[in-house]
Amino acid sequence: MTTRHCDIVVAGGGPAGLAAALSFAARGYDVTLLERASERVLEQPDFDGREIALTHHSINWLERFGVWARIPVADRSPLKTARIETGAGGSNPLLFATPDRSGEGVDALGVLVPNHLIRAALYQAVCAQARITVLTERTITTCRSGKQFASVTCDDGTVVTCRLLVVADGRFSAVREMLGIGAIVHDFERSILVCRLRHAEPHGQVALQWFDEGQTVALLPVADDDVAREGGGHRSSLVLTVEAEEAARLQRLEPTAFETDVTERLKGRLSAVQLLSQRRIYPLKTVFAHRFQTDRVALVGDAAVGMHPITAHGFNLGIKGQDILTRMIVNGSGDPGDPAALRRFERRFRQETVPLFAATNGIASVYTRDIGPVLALRRTGLRIADGLSPFKRFVTGLLMDRSALR
């Protein structure tokens, strides 16, 4: 059995955990990050189908912590317009365009980057930080929290004690459960199938969210590759929300049968599509922890708030949560487990997340229930919303989140 001591233990090496480790190390704390996956997985994560729409707040944070420059420029795809449609026809869409603020360096609503490249870049930045020790292939099996310190034990017998335990082990967090912290879990009883497609016509940097009857489709503009530049067709990410059995059936289809199915489903939104990647499936469950802190413990990332991907905020809230946490700790007594600072973190992060979580779940429920009155309501809703400039400015602000730049 090995016992170590450090200022901060981060449980989980996903994006939120890696970001938290970087933030705390930059403020002079010694950090031990525990991750159940291997070092190879952290170094070279496989493509997982997720294309993350980064807000300006996240991009700003990634720049400050030396991560942004590690993401290849050729893989960044600016989002110029968000287009929302309901029903089969696609008439009366709700459009959110990039506000004209090129003078302030704003030329996109956000930037779309593949998740696996963000994770690789975060890990490279972590490896360049001498204050962070990464212990891989360790699954946390028990943990304790107390007034003086917290401790975790891993499946190989490693024990680490610390002054603050940052829980970042994802939305179905085992560590959260070990600490006795409950969570509101909402099961939408749907699955999300994601993959990359090639298609002839350009996407125009438009992200489409289309609430059709029986399915919700997002088409996200992926950056052009050499094939596209040579006229061989552009790339989009398909995010398809359907019943779990339907997602599994689509995943099993032969590629050509899948391409035919998707081309028909899109009802002319793209011409014939070609499958470019593996098809990945994610169950659609959202999670909101009952509390974000307890003695010498703070929850960040999906372990705190696991969002519905419809408003593209999960990763962004992960960056924001750990940013708020480190700021509160640094502005407190200096003890990373300072209870007053942890309470301030909880208050502030709750203010940030409660309205967004409730609104996102509300939108997701209205726009995925295919009963008559709801269908009529959403068609009318989009028409009215498109005519409301203050509403559109508010939503554009949420999509972009430029809070750190103000």
Ligand X SMILES: Cc1cc2nc3c(=O)[nH]c(=O)nc-3n(C[C@H](O)[C@H](O)[C@H](O)COP(=O)(O)OP(=O)(O)OC[C@H]3O[C@@H](n4cnc5c(N)ncnc54)[C@H](O)[C@@H]3O)c2cc1C
Residues in contact with ligand X by CB under 6 A are 11-17, 34-37, 50, 52-53, 115, 139-140, 168-170, 174-175, 192, 194, 239, 282, 301-303, 309, 312-316, 318
Nearer to ligand X, 318 or 332 (CB): 318
Nearer to ligand X, 14 or 337 (CB): 14
Q: Is the dihedral of CA 14, 10, 169, 339 positive or negative?
A: negative
Distance CA 16, CA 310 (A): 19
Min separation Cβ 334 and ligand X, Å: 26
Distances in whole angstroms, Cα of residue 395 to Cα of each of 94, 298, 310, 344:
11, 29, 13, 27
Nearer to ligand X, 310 or 329 (CB): 310
Min separation Cβ 383 and ligand X, Å: 26
Min separation Cβ 387 and ligand X, Å: 27
CB 29 within 8 A of CB 7: yes
Nearer to ligand X, 38 or 91 (CB): 38
Min separation Cβ 232 and ligand X, Å: 26
Comparing C-alpha atoms, which of 280, 212, 203, 279 is closest to residue 236? 203
CB count within 10 Å of CB 249 equals 14
Min separation Cβ 379 and ligand X, Å: 26
Min separation Cβ 172 and ligand X, Å: 8
Kind and range of the H or E run holding 190: strand 183-199
Buried (b) or exposed (e) across 111-122, using 16+ Cβ within 10 A?
bbbbbbbbbbbb
Nearer to ligand X, 216 or 332 (CB): 216
Nearer to ligand X, 15 or 221 (CB): 15
Q: Helices (DSSP H) in 45-155: which residue ranges?
A: 56-64, 115-127
Nearer to ligand X, 125 or 175 (CB): 175
Min separation Cβ 371 and ligand X, Å: 26
Buried (b) or exposed (e) across 186-219, using 16+ Cβ within 10 A?
bebebbbbbbbbbbeeebebbbbbbbbeebbbbb
Phi and psi at residue 182, to the nearest 5°: -80, 175
Distance CA 180, CA 200 (A): 52
Nearer to ligand X, 332 or 353 (CB): 353
Give the nearest residue (CB) to ligand X: 14
Min separation Cβ 89 and ligand X, Å: 26
CB 334 within 8 A of CB 219: no
Distance CA 317, CA 55 (A): 10
Amino acid at 123: Y
